């Protein structure tokens, strides 16, 4: 197993989970507010499993909290999609759905990983992500097929967010190595599942799948938008203000 590969798996749910946590108490309805908070908690649970494994691989007494919270911005490997702000509810749902449509086939493949511990994490997580996908896809359909305004907002959100999806399937050297070792996922096999999912949901929602161009695919290589700096200022505050603190 490769330490950097675990960061690639952990950082997407870490950053997206934090974005969702910002909505606690601000959901359009109480039920939706609780659902989004629960999805954030699910994602953080997955992050903890990855970071525990990564800390063990790193050695030198490193802890899961240090892996998650005490890295510099350029050391985070999340895709740019996950750090996009919560502009409105359509953006939140669009961002979540596009990630879920990628995340579900990713975990499906990782469930068959030759690394038994990684496979175990994936098999546990996939039960949660099936619910995430159902929740977000149903909301895409509801907003896309709702009022004129909800449709316009959902289409506008997808028009902007779609340009970040190309990076989801960009294979880094670490991902290529783990794929060839039978440990990591094969994006070539994942992409058809993502495309079919998106085509079906967009069709049922009455939405048009946007066309390029793609944003630069740089998040996996540690180059991020200004959004991540603000996220880390919140996310790392306790660990940097009170060094070595433990719950």
Q: What would the pLDDT profile of 201-225 be if each residue is shown by its tens digit?
A: 999 999 999 987 666 668 898 889 8
Lowest-pLDDT choice from 118-122, 162-166, 212-216: 212-216
Which pLDDT score, from 0 to 100, does residue 31 have? 84
pTM given for the model = 0.93
Residue 243 clears pLDDT 90, i.e. is over it: no
From CA 166, how far away is CA 127, in angstroms rounded? 26
Which pLDDT score, from 0 to 100, does residue 112 have? 96
Q: Averaged over 160-182, what is the pLDDT?
A: 94
Using 50, 70 and 90 to split pLDDT, how confident is the model at 200? very high
From CA 129, how far away is CA 172, in angstroms rounded? 24
Lowest-pLDDT choice from 17-31, 32-46, 187-201: 17-31
From CA 108, how far away is CA 34, in angstroms rounded? 26
Which pLDDT score, from 0 to 100, does residue 218 have? 83
From CA 43, how far away is CA 30, in angstroms rounded? 20
Residue 73 clears pLDDT 80, i.e. is over it: yes
From CA 231, how far away is CA 234, in angstroms rounded? 5
Q: Two tokens at 138?
A: 């149903």
From CA 213, how far away is CA 198, in angstroms rounded? 18
Which pLDDT score, from 0 to 100, does residue 122 have? 97
Backbone dihedral region for residue 244 (phi beyond 0: left; psi -120 to 50: alpha; all else: beta): left
What DSSP string describes 76-113? Answer: ----GGGG----SHHHHHHHHHHHHHHHHHHHHHHTT-
Question: What is the CATH number that goes with domain 3-241?
Answer: 1.20.1260.10
- For tokens 């309805």, name the residue: 29
Residue 79 clears pLDDT 70, i.e. is over it: yes
Closest among 228, 243, 242, 218 to 14, alpha carbons compared: 228
From CA 107, how far away is CA 87, in angstroms rounded? 28
Phi, psi of 152 (to 5 degrees): -60, -40
CB atoms < 10 A from the CB of 127, how many? 10
- Cis ω on the peptide bond leading into residue 130 (within 30° of 0)? no
Distance of CA 71 to the CA centre of its chain: 18
Closest among 232, 210, 187 to 76, alpha carbons compared: 232
HSE-CB of 12 using CA atoms within 13 angstroms = 21
- Domains in the chain: boundaries: 3-241
Q: Averaged over 25-45, what is the pLDDT?
A: 89
Residue 145 clears pLDDT 80, i.e. is over it: yes
Most confident of 56-65, 68-77, 89-98: 89-98
């Amino acid at each position: 197993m490769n330490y950097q590969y675990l960061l690639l798996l952990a950082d997407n749910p870490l950053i997206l989970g934090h974005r969702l946590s910002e909505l606690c108490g601000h959901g359009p309805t109480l039920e939706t507010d609780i659902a989004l908070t629960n999805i954030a908690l699910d994602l953080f649970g997955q992050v903890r499993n990855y970071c525990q494994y990564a800390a063990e691989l790193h050695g030198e007494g490193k802890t899961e909290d240090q892996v998650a919270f005490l890295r510099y911005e350029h050391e985070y490997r999340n895709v740019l999609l996950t750090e996009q702000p919560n502009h409105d509810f359509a953006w939140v749902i669009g961002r979540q759905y596009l990630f879920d449509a990628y995340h579900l086939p990713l975990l499906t493949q990782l469930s068959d990983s030759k690394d038994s511990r990684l496979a175990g994490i994936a098999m546990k997580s996939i039960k949660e992500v099936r619910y995430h996908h159902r929740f977000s896809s149903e909301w895409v359909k509801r907003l896309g097929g709702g009022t004129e305004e909800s449709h316009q907002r959902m289409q506008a959100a997808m028009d902007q967010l779609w340009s970040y999806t190309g990076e989801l399937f960009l294979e880094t050297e670490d991902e290529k190595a783990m794929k060839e070792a039978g440990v990591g996922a094969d994006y070539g096999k994942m992409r058809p599942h993502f495309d079919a999912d998106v085509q079906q949901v967009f069709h049922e929602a009455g939405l048009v799948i946007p066309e390029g161009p793609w944003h630069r695919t740089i998040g996996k290589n540690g180059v991020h938008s200004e959004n991540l700096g603000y996220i880390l200022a919140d996310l790392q505050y306790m660990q940097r203000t009170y060094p070595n603190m433990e719950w």
